[in-house]
Chain A
Amino acid sequence: MRQRPPILLLGLAILAVLVSLAPLSYLVIRLGEFGIDKVIANVVRERSLELLGNSVLLALAVAASAVVVGGFQAWLTTRSSLRGRALFAVLAALPLAMPSYVTAYAFTALFTGFRGFAAAWLVLTIGTAPYVYLAVSAALMRADSATEEVARSLGAGRWRVFKEVTWPSVRPAAVSGAMLSALYTLSDFGAVSILSFDTFTRAIYSAYRSSFDRSGAASLAAILVVLTIALLLIEPALRGKSVVTDSHTRKYSEIQLGWYAPVAVMLASAWVIVSLVLPAYSLVRWNQTGLSQVDLGEVSRALINSVGYAAGGGFIAVVFGLAVSVLAIRYRSTFTSALERSIWITHAVPGIVVALSLVFLSNRVLPEIYQTSTLVLIAYLILFLPNAIAAMQTPISQTPRELDEIAASLGSSRLQTLRRVIIPIAGPGILAGGALVSLAVLKELPATLLLRETGIETLATRLWSETSVSAYAAAAPYALLLVVVAGIPAWLLNRQVQAGSRAQSGIEQRIERE
């Protein structure tokens, strides 16, 4: 049954796409001024190509290792008989709370000579593995373990069950987590610059910093857009067919690890040490060295502003993300899928380029919103909407479609169905999307720095200004506070992902009884 999508959703989704693609118009204008021959000359230089190679290599390496680490954590905490797996589940999501520039700094403070490709690879894997972990563990919890048991009972070995039953059911989640990780890596500046690894995004920043060369920077950013489009085009093939695993019985049989248990515990603990304990230790030690005084009033103002921006950013991401996701899933058509895909196109464009494009566009089109929190929130929407959508899609698509039809037969309008059926059932997943965006907003620096109202400081901008002079001790409280504040949504996120599957199975049981 093909239905016409509700006007409200369509309106929100089209607006989200227009906003997301706004930076492209700026890139086109800057490139137009530059002239196509200069653009080509700037891009097709041996050095640019080498940097592009570095970026792509790093993005692929990070995506792959994030899938391995995050996938392993997800499997271990949802399927195995591991003791203390609830604790490991919380610890797996927690690195999200640490901005990658802080992690990078923490490691360089501990180990001299911590730099280059391997260092960047490690730090960015720490930062992005939770994306994969959250997506895959949500998928695993919803996947039907009965199928696995049947396969086992028919004599398939563990590896074969994993390869032919488990992997296909988590593959879409793993691929979208990998996609987020790869695009995050492409657009990252903070970590790679601290770790002295030359990437494309670093080149974009130095074009601005050192030569005020806006057109040169724009031509490089355009390459990242092209690269993203290429990734978007191959993504469906990587995802594979989505496997419908709408099980109504939801009993997990835990996989007994047996002799492998100590190995699994050791691996999981080692990762906890590397991803959490070492950086946290470094931060605390950093907090204790130095003599700088901290101004409590300043800290609390920064805290209030950070929380305000994070709440606002999370809220609008939920509103627009919900509209885009529901359209793409419930009212699937070429048009709605295209809307959903377009949101991703600017996701690898570095924050500073997005921010400057908004400076340029708002001053020419809507000067009233320039340097107001409205424009800041628009920037967050452009930068982080894909994160929200990636988190919402699985829970929304797994809300039973039959319920929509029942609701419709009982006279609910399409929006009422959305409000009374889809939102309650997929609620935890939708909130998880909002929490992810709030987290990203807390850590965001370049766009906040450029677009905030004059005089407004956040934890991240404070951290930046304290480290840009050498007042390390004054910076540490901001770094610690940022990590602690961001820890709250990170922890909630984990709970919601787990609660999501419980809520869903509860509803299904109720349906069965009726």
Chain B
Amino acid sequence: MNIIKRALKVGAAVLIAAFAATSLAGCARESTATGEQTITIYSGRSEDLIAELLEQFTAETGIGVEVRYSDSASLAAQILEEGSNVQADVFFSQDAGALGAISEAGAFKKLDDDTTGLVYSKFRAVDGTWIGVSGRSRVLSYNPDLVAAADLPKSIFDLADPKFKGKVGIAPTNASFQSSVTAMRVLAGEAVTVKWLNAMKTNAVLFEKNSQILEAVESGQVSAGLINHYYWYERAAEVGEDKMISKMAWFEAGDVGNLINVAGVGVLSDKPEAKTFAKWLLGSTAQNFFVNKTAEYSLTGLAAREGLPALDQIAAPNIDLSALSTLAQTLELIRNARLTD
């Protein structure tokens, strides 16, 4: 036993020396404009989309930011596993579901009323633990060479028709798709949703990501696909708007296929700067940024980007976004329909 003890001591010494040596190597980071205070943000929104916005935040407020980019769900899992040692001051999530999960675990601090009051009430948590800061609409992207605008389905439920067999792309493991199915379950009921999902098992071509669906619509692999509206603009920025083949369509008024989901934030620490950041995201700089740069909807009342229907014209289904955190039941349905693992 003595040998093992000594062995462990020697081993630990070498381990520490090795790590000390290697930890010094390779830490090139982008120097952030640090003010007096700095907050750490866990961001499920990608750097490409919001790095510029965060720079503007630092410029306007003098508060520095450290950002950790990853996908919203991994970050949510990470926050939950960090337990009482949470490193983030703010969680900036790509969708309401991840915010709901953290809120449910009781990790968010309540936001001030003068912050939450700025957001349309349907786009924030009822208990004031998180707010939506920008909105995205579910749309049907379609390839006009393969399906005429007049032949497009009136409702998301019409996609169950056998005539769409093999022609429509969905991403069953994608959080946006799952949120829209949750909305369907809450509004139309479980039986209807199960029926639709089973039909989609037959009709749909499955993808991992919205961007892959859009690519497949562009290339003609599928005629249409369910995505978020801003993916179209992202791709347009990439290849040039004139080279885009696909177009976007909305279902008829109130259809659950027109769900509007949000990206939003919750505050995890007691730092006052964290709350400052949450409120700043609802100010004119940030809201203009969402409209013009990321082609999302403002949630404080700014006009939508040219070419997009206005937020209140989309005739989105009427749903409490907090209900989107009831994802577990939805997943069970999606799983039972054998659309996911």
**Which residues from chain A sit less than 8 Å from chain B, CB to CB?**
4, 7-8, 10-15, 47, 51, 112-113, 193-194, 196, 198, 200, 202-203, 206, 208-214, 289-292, 297-298, 300-301, 304-309, 311-312, 315-316, 319, 352, 356, 359-360, 363-364, 367, 370-374, 377, 449-450, 453-457, 461, 465-474
Q: Report Cα–Cα, A194/B207, bound state, in Å.
A: 8
Q: Report Cα–Cα, A15/B8, bound state, in Å.
A: 7
Cβ–Cβ contact A206 & B238, under 8 A: no
Cβ–Cβ contact B234 & A202, under 8 A: no
Q: Known contacts A472-B238, A474-B48; is A211 also within 8 Å of B208 by CB?
A: no
Q: Report Cα–Cα, A315/B23, bound state, in Å.
A: 12
Cβ–Cβ contact B11 & A8, under 8 A: yes
Known: A11-B8, A370-B82. 5 other contacts (CB 8 A): A8-B7, A47-B341, A377-B19, A454-B87, A455-B68
Chain B nearest Cβ from A288, distance in angstroms: 12
Most buried by A among B67, B74, B206: B74
In the bound complex, residues from chain B placing their C-beta under 8 Å from that of A193 are: 208
Q: Please, which residue of chain A has its CB at the minimum distance from the CB of B233? A: A470
Q: Known contacts A370-B85, A468-B46; is A453 also within 8 Å of B29 by CB?
A: yes
Partner of A212, one of B6, B46, B77, B207: B77
Cβ–Cβ contact B327 & A11, under 8 A: no
In the bound complex, residues from chain B placing their C-beta under 8 Å from that of A290 are: 238-239
Cβ–Cβ contact B83 & A304, under 8 A: no
Q: Known contacts A291-B239, A465-B47; is A7 also within 8 Å of B6 by CB?
A: yes
Interface of A is mostly: helix
Cβ–Cβ contact B67 & A455, under 8 A: yes
Cβ–Cβ contact B22 & A311, under 8 A: yes
Q: Known contacts A11-B9, A211-B331; is A196 also within 8 Å of B48 by CB?
A: no
Q: Give B76-92 interface residues, CB cut-off 8 Å to A.
A: 76-78, 80-85, 87
Q: Encode contact with A along B40-54: 1 for CB under 8 Å, 0 otherwise.
A: 100000111100000
In the bound complex, residues from chain B placing their C-beta under 8 Å from that of A312 are: 22-23, 25-26
Partner of A316, one of B18, B49, B69, B211: B18
In the bound complex, residues from chain A placing their C-beta under 8 Å from that of B178 are: 210
Cβ–Cβ contact A356 & B335, under 8 A: no
In the bound complex, residues from chain B placing their C-beta under 8 Å from that of A8 are: 7, 10-11, 14
**Which residues from chain B sit less than 8 Å from chain A, CB to CB?**
3-4, 6-12, 14-15, 18-19, 21-23, 25-30, 32, 40, 46-49, 66-71, 73-74, 76-78, 80-85, 87, 98, 101, 173, 175, 178, 206-209, 211, 214-215, 219, 221, 231, 234-235, 237-240, 327-328, 331, 335, 338, 340-341
Cβ–Cβ contact A208 & B74, under 8 A: yes
Cβ–Cβ contact B341 & A206, under 8 A: yes
Chain B nearest Cβ from A206, distance in angstroms: 5
Cβ–Cβ contact B328 & A213, under 8 A: yes
Cβ–Cβ contact A370 & B87, under 8 A: yes
In the bound complex, residues from chain B placing their C-beta under 8 Å from that of A371 are: 87
Interface of B is mostly: helix
Cβ–Cβ contact B341 & A202, under 8 A: yes
Q: Report Cα–Cα, A470/B234, bound state, in Å.
A: 6
List 9 A-B residue pairs with CB atoms under 8 Å apart, sorted by A's residue number. Answer: A10-B3, A11-B6, A14-B11, A315-B21, A450-B78, A455-B29, A468-B46, A470-B214, A471-B48
Chain B nearest Cβ from A33, distance in angstroms: 12
Cβ–Cβ contact B173 & A209, under 8 A: yes
Question: Which 10 A-B residue pairings sit nearest by Cβ, starting from the closest?
Answer: A308-B26, A11-B11, A312-B22, A203-B341, A11-B7, A10-B7, A470-B211, A15-B11, A11-B10, A304-B28
Cβ–Cβ contact B240 & A291, under 8 A: yes
Cβ–Cβ contact A319 & B14, under 8 A: yes
Cβ–Cβ contact A212 & B81, under 8 A: no
Cβ–Cβ contact A14 & B8, under 8 A: yes
Q: Report Cα–Cα, A472/B239, bound state, in Å.
A: 10
Cβ–Cβ contact B221 & A319, under 8 A: no
In the bound complex, residues from chain A placing their C-beta under 8 Å from that of B235 are: 470
Chain B nearest Cβ from A457, distance in angstroms: 8
Chain A nearest Cβ from B140, distance in angstroms: 18
Q: Please, which residue of chain A has its CB at the minimum distance from the CB of B341? A: A203
Chain B nearest Cβ from A380, distance in angstroms: 10
In the bound complex, residues from chain A placing their C-beta under 8 Å from that of B46 are: 465, 468-469
Chain B nearest Cβ from A129, distance in angstroms: 26
In the bound complex, residues from chain A placing their C-beta under 8 Å from that of B238 are: 290-292, 470-473
Q: Report Cα–Cα, A194/B215, bound state, in Å.
A: 13
Q: Report Cα–Cα, A13/B101, bound state, in Å.
A: 41
In the bound complex, residues from chain B placing their C-beta under 8 Å from that of A113 are: 221
Cβ–Cβ contact B71 & A311, under 8 A: no
Cβ–Cβ contact B23 & A372, under 8 A: yes
Q: Report Cα–Cα, A7/B6, bound state, in Å.
A: 7
Q: Report Cα–Cα, A203/B338, bound state, in Å.
A: 12
Q: Report Cα–Cα, A13/B40, bound state, in Å.
A: 37
In the bound complex, residues from chain A placing their C-beta under 8 Å from that of B21 are: 315
In the bound complex, residues from chain A placing their C-beta under 8 Å from that of B19 are: 316, 374, 377
Cβ–Cβ contact A465 & B69, under 8 A: yes
Q: Known contacts A214-B81, A356-B77, A465-B47; is A196 also within 8 Å of B10 by CB?
A: no
Chain A nearest Cβ from B239, distance in angstroms: 6
Q: Report Cα–Cα, A359/B73, bound state, in Å.
A: 15
Q: Known contacts A377-B22, A472-B238; is A212 also within 8 Å of B98 by CB?
A: yes
Q: Please, which residue of chain A has its CB at the minimum distance from the CB of B45? A: A469
In the bound complex, residues from chain B placing their C-beta under 8 Å from that of A309 are: 26
Q: Report Cα–Cα, A202/B339, bound state, in Å.
A: 13
Q: Please, which residue of chain A has its CB at the minimum distance from the CB of B40? A: A454
Q: Report Cα–Cα, A305/B8, bound state, in Å.
A: 31
Q: Known contacts A10-B3, A298-B30; is A112 also within 8 Å of B221 by CB?
A: yes
Q: Report Cα–Cα, A360/B84, bound state, in Å.
A: 10
Chain B nearest Cβ from A268, distance in angstroms: 33
In the bound complex, residues from chain A placing their C-beta under 8 Å from that of B340 are: 206, 210
Chain B nearest Cβ from A451, distance in angstroms: 9
In the bound complex, residues from chain A placing their C-beta under 8 Å from that of B25 are: 308, 311-312
Cβ–Cβ contact B234 & A374, under 8 A: no
Cβ–Cβ contact A305 & B76, under 8 A: no
Q: Please, which residue of chain A has its CB at the minimum distance from the CB of B329? A: A211
Q: Report Cα–Cα, A291/B235, bound state, in Å.
A: 10
Cβ–Cβ contact A209 & B74, under 8 A: yes
Cβ–Cβ contact A196 & B207, under 8 A: yes
Partner of B331, one of A196, A210, A466: A210
Most buried by A among B10, B28, B69: B28
Q: Report Cα–Cα, A112/B215, bound state, in Å.
A: 11
Q: Report Cα–Cα, A510/B85, bound state, in Å.
A: 60
In the bound complex, residues from chain A placing their C-beta under 8 Å from that of B40 are: 454
Chain B nearest Cβ from A114, distance in angstroms: 11
Q: Report Cα–Cα, A212/B328, bound state, in Å.
A: 9
Partner of B173, one of A206, A370, A471: A206
Chain B nearest Cβ from A410, distance in angstroms: 25
Cβ–Cβ contact B239 & A469, under 8 A: no
Q: Known contacts A210-B175, A470-B235; is A456 also within 8 Å of B77 by CB?
A: no
In the bound complex, residues from chain A placing their C-beta under 8 Å from that of B22 are: 311-312, 315-316, 373, 377
Cβ–Cβ contact A359 & B338, under 8 A: no
Most buried by B among A194, A198, A307, A465: A465
Cβ–Cβ contact A373 & B66, under 8 A: no
Chain A nearest Cβ from B134, distance in angstroms: 15
Q: Please, which residue of chain A has its CB at the minimum distance from the CB of B42? A: A454
Cβ–Cβ contact A455 & B32, under 8 A: yes
Partner of A319, one of B18, B27, B98, B240: B18
Q: Known contacts A11-B7, A291-B239, A455-B67; is A212 also within 8 Å of B101 by CB?
A: yes
Partner of B219, one of A112, A210, A300: A112
Cβ–Cβ contact B341 & A305, under 8 A: no
Q: Report Cα–Cα, A421/B312, bound state, in Å.
A: 78
In the bound complex, residues from chain B placing their C-beta under 8 Å from that of A198 are: 341
Cβ–Cβ contact A470 & B87, under 8 A: no
